[in-house]
Amino acid sequence: MTNGSVALASERIAAYDFSGVSTVVDVAGGRGMIIASILKANPHLRGVLVDLPHVVAEAQGVIESEGVADRCEVRAADFFESVPSGGDAYVLKWIIHD
């Protein structure tokens, strides 16, 4: 999943206009490569990464190594139950089938 995310991220992030967005929530974002890529390409953004507890346990290290930890909150949650409110944009990558 991570390798596929990295391959798809750059062209899709470049194609999307984030200018009217302040906070992006990446729902079921795994270890955080997509949200990190979005934040790196858009320095004005803040991000929230949401995934199951055992998944986000590894995400903080990725977020830190990508240099966006000061703008990205990592939250453990089950998207079948709820997602964080307050986002201007929500990223749903390969989860609709769930």
DSSP string, 19-78: TT-SEEEEET-TTSHHHHHHHHH-TT-EEEEEE-HHHHTTHHHHHHHTT-GGGEEEEE--
The pTM score is 0.87
Domain ranges of the chain: 2-92
Could you report the per-residue pLDDT of 13-57, keeping only the tens digit for each?
Answer: 888 899 999 999 999 999 999 999 999 999 999 999 999 999 999
Contact call for residues 63 and 74 (beta carbons, < 8 A): yes
Annotated catalytic, 97? yes
Catalytic residue among 19, 43, 97, 98: 97
The pair phi, psi for residue 95, each rounded to 5°, is -125, -10
Left if phi > 0, otherwise alpha if psi is -120 to 50, otherwise beta: which for 87?
beta
CATH class of 2-92: alpha beta
Predicted pLDDT at 12: 82
CA angle, residues 43, 48, 50, in degrees to nearest 5: 145
